[in-house]
Amino acid sequence: MRRSLACLAVLAVAARAGAQAAPPRAPESAPPASAQRGAKADDLDDDAERPASKAEPAKPASERTPKPQLLPPPADPRADEQEPRPVLRRGSEQAERHLEIGPDFGIWARPAKGDKVEYSPGFAWGGHVRAELLPFLGFRAYVSNSTHTVRVPRGALGLDGTQLNQPDLQVFQLGARLEPTFMPAPTARLWAGLGAAWARATAPAPSSSGAMQVRYADRSGVFLEYSAALGATWDFVPRWLTATVSLSGGLVSDPSGDLFHEHSVSDGSGGTVKMGGFPEFSASYCAALGVGMIL
Closest-CA residue to 187 (of 246, 131, 232): 232
**Residues contacting 193, CB < 8 A, separation 6+:** 140, 177, 178, 179, 180, 228, 229, 230, 231, 248
- Rounded to whole angstroms, how far apart are CA atoms 246 and 232? 7
- Rounded to whole angstroms, how far apart are CA atoms 115 and 104? 32
Give the domain 94-152+167-204+217-258+280-294 fold: Porin (2.40.160)
Q: Which regions in the chain score pLDDT beneath 50?
A: 26, 30, 35, 38-41, 44, 48, 53-55, 90-95
pLDDT in the model for residue 32 = 53
- Rounded to whole angstroms, how far apart are CA atoms 233 and 225? 24
pLDDT in the model for residue 61 = 53
Q: Are 294 and 242 in contact (CB under 8 A)?
A: yes
Closest-CA residue to 227 (of 250, 247, 246): 250
- Rounded to whole angstroms, how far apart are CA atoms 128 and 105? 11
Where do the domains of the chain lie?
Answer: 94-152+167-204+217-258+280-294
**Residues contacting 160, CB < 8 A, separation 6+:** 211
Reported as a single tens digit per residue, the pLDDT across 103-146 is 999 999 999 987 789 999 999 999 999 999 998 999 999 999 99
**Residues contacting 145, CB < 8 A, separation 6+:** 124, 125, 126, 170, 171, 172, 173
Beta strands per DSSP E along the chain: 99-109, 118-119, 122-134, 137-148, 150-151, 162-165, 169-185, 188-203, 207-210, 219-237, 241-256, 263-266, 272-275, 284-294
Burial of 202 from C-beta contacts in 10 A (0-12 / 13-18 / 19+) = middle
Element (H, E) at 41: helix 33-49
Buried b (16+ CB within 10 A) or exposed e, 96-126: ebeebebebebebbbbbeeeebebebbebeb
pLDDT in the model for residue 41 = 47
Q: Are 150 and 117 in contact (CB under 8 A)?
A: yes
Q: Are 107 and 148 in contact (CB under 8 A)?
A: no
Residue 1 three-state SS: coil
**Residues contacting 61, CB < 8 A, separation 6+:** none
Reported as a single tens digit per residue, the pLDDT across 139-173 is 999 999 999 999 988 888 888 888 888 899 999 99
- Rounded to whole angstroms, how far apart are CA atoms 260 and 220? 8
- Rounded to whole angstroms, how far apart are CA atoms 112 and 258? 16
- Rounded to whole angstroms, how far apart are CA atoms 222 and 253? 10
pLDDT in the model for residue 276 = 85
- Rounded to whole angstroms, how far apart are CA atoms 186 and 245? 17
